[in-house]
Every structure is written in structure tokens, then in C-alpha cells.
């Protein structure tokens, strides 16, 4: 079973990963975006970690809802509402009562979170967005956390030949081809952080 501590570890690992990879995310965002994805997520996840320390939410659902609200309130851009919605909807689906949740329940909640992201952004897999990492990750979560992390990484890698249809990269049309999507890359980091939290 997964408790609030597990979800706090997930968010802390995500913040560390974003810190570690900030320059890479910004570099990926440079040819097909506006060169700020790394710094924006750094600011957001730093706020998440600070809020979790201060408010110490007691249940998995409460941790994710607080994290999502922090991202919406601090990141801005498209990634703030999208990642914020992912965590908030996942947290809402888990509810705030259960002190522990099973892996199957988490998988269903994440599926709902990813669906909310797709609705909000109006995107589908293949559009060269974070969904290209998140959708295969949720599918693979039935197997293991590590498998989900692998699937997310492969999904992010597979965005390179795609033509962007959503977000700022879509303005480039064919010229977005040949660049790995920064949003899919950060989404893969988030899933890798989940696997890291499980690997304790």
C-alpha cells in the first residue's frame, strides 16, 4: 500500500529530477519553444516541496491536490495548468480520506488525471506533447513502476520524429520534426520520480 509519505517522496524526487535536468529541458525547449521549460518547472516543484513541508497533508489524495494547486499557482505557461491538473485530478480521484491506496487505485486515478490533461489541452497521443510519455506510462503501470518509467522514456524519445500539433512548437509546422519534445521529456522525469519513490 502507498501512503502519504510515498507521494511526498514522489514529489521530492520530481523536484530533484527537474533541478538536475533543468538545463536540458530548457535546451530542448529552445529550438521549438521559448527556452524556459526547465526554469518554470524548477520554480513550480520547489513551491510544491515547500508547501508539502509546511502543510504536511496526511493522505495521498491531499498531497497530490496540494501539489497540483501549487503548480497552477506558481508555474504559469501551459505546463502549470497541465501538470497542475494532472496531479490535482489524480488526487481528487484518490479522495482525501484514504490514508493508503493500492497500486491499482493509483493507476486508475492517474488514468483520470491524464484524461483531464488531454481534455484541458485538447491534445491526443501523437501530437508531440507530454501525453506521448504519460499515456504509455499509465498503460505500463499495471506491470511495475519501473516499466512505467521505461515506457514514458521511450514515449518521450519517440516524439523526436513527430510534427507538433499543439502548443508553441506547433507554430513551426514541419520544422518541429527532429526535435525531442520538452513536455514529454519532463513528463518522463515525473514518471521516473514515481519509480524512484517506489524503489525505497
Partner 1 sequence: MRMLINVPETVVADALRGMAAAHPELIVDVENRVIVRRDAPVDGKVALVSGGGSGHEPLHGCFVGPGMLSAACPGEVFTSPVPDQMVRAAAAVDSGAGVLFVVKNYTGDVLNFDMAVELAEDEGIQVAKVLVDDDVAVSDSLYTAGRRGTGATLFVEKIAGAAAEEGRPLEQVESLARKVNDNSRSFGVALDACTTPAKGSPTFDLPAGELELGVGIHGEPGRERRAMMTSREIADFSVDAVLEDMNPRNPVLVLVNGMGATPLLELYGFNAEVQRRLAERGVPVARVLVGNYVTSLDMAGASVTLCQVDEELLRLYDAPVRTPGLRWGG
Name the site residues for partner 1 (rule: CB under 8 A).
26-27, 30-36, 38-40, 43, 72-82, 120-121, 163, 165-168, 170-173, 175
Using the minimum distance from each CB to partner 1, give the nearer residue, 58 or 124. Answer: 124
Using the minimum distance from each CB to partner 1, give the nearer residue, 34 or 100. Answer: 34
Using the minimum distance from each CB to partner 1, give the nearer residue, 9 or 166. Answer: 166
Q: How far is the CB of 30 from partner 1 (least distance, A)?
A: 6
Q: How far is the CB of 156 from partner 1 (least distance, A)?
A: 19
Using the minimum distance from each CB to partner 1, give the nearer residue, 46 or 147. Answer: 46
Query: With contact defined as beta carbons under 8 Å apart, do 72 and 46 qualify?
Result: no
Q: How far is the CB of 10 from partner 1 (least distance, A)?
A: 23
In whole angstroms, give the CA distance from residue 59 to residue 2. Answer: 10
Q: How far is the CB of 34 from partner 1 (least distance, A)?
A: 4
> How many Cα atoms sit within 13 Å of 51 on the Cβ side?
20
β-strands 100-101, 2-3: how paired?
Answer: antiparallel
H helix count then E strand count, the chain: 8, 2
Q: How far is the CB of 29 from partner 1 (least distance, A)?
A: 9
C-alpha of 25 from chain center: 13
Determine which helix (DSSP H) or strand (DSSP E) holds 101, and give its type and residue range.
strand 100-101
Q: How far is the CB of 40 from partner 1 (least distance, A)?
A: 6
Using the minimum distance from each CB to partner 1, give the nearer residue, 78 or 141. Answer: 78
Using the minimum distance from each CB to partner 1, give the nearer residue, 4 or 32. Answer: 32
Furthest CA-CA distance within the chain: 48
Neighbours of 139 (CB within 10 A): 16
| Sign of CA pseudo-dihedral 90, 91, 94, 100 | positive
**Residues 131, 134, 139, 143: what is their CA dihedral angle, to the nearest 10 degrees?**
160
Amino acid at each position: 500500500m502507498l501512503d502519504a509519505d510515498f507521494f511526498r517522496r514522489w514529489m521530492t524526487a520530481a523536484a530533484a529530477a527537474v533541478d538536475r535536468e533543468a538545463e536540458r529541458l530548457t535546451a530542448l525547449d529552445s529550438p521549438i519553444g521559448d527556452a524556459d521549460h526547465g526554469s518554470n518547472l524548477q520554480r513550480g516543484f520547489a513551491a510544491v516541496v515547500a508547501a508539502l513541508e509546511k502543510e504536511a497533508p496526511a493522505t495521498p489524495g491531499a498531497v497530490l491536490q496540494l501539489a497540483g494547486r501549487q503548480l497552477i499557482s506558481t508555474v504559469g505557461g501551459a505546463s502549470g495548468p497541465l501538470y497542475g491538473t494532472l496531479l490535482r485530478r489524480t488526487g481528487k480521484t484518490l479522495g482525501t480520506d484514504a490514508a493508503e491506496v493500492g497500486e491499482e487505485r493509483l493507476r486508475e486515478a492517474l488514468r483520470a488525471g491524464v484524461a483531464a490533461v488531454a481534455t484541458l489541452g485538447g491534445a491526443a497521443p501523437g501530437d508531440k506533447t507530454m501525453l506521448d510519455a504519460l499515456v504509455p506510462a499509465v498503460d505500463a503501470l499495471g506491470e511495475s513502476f519501473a516499466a512505467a518509467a521505461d515506457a514514458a522514456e521511450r514515449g518521450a524519445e519517440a516524439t523526436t520524429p513527430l510534427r507538433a500539433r499543439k502548443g508553441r512548437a506547433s507554430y513551426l509546422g514541419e520544422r518541429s520534426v527532429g526535435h525531442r519534445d520538452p513536455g514529454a521529456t519532463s513528463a518522463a522525469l515525473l514518471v521516473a520520480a514515481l519509480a524512484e519513490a517506489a524503489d525505497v
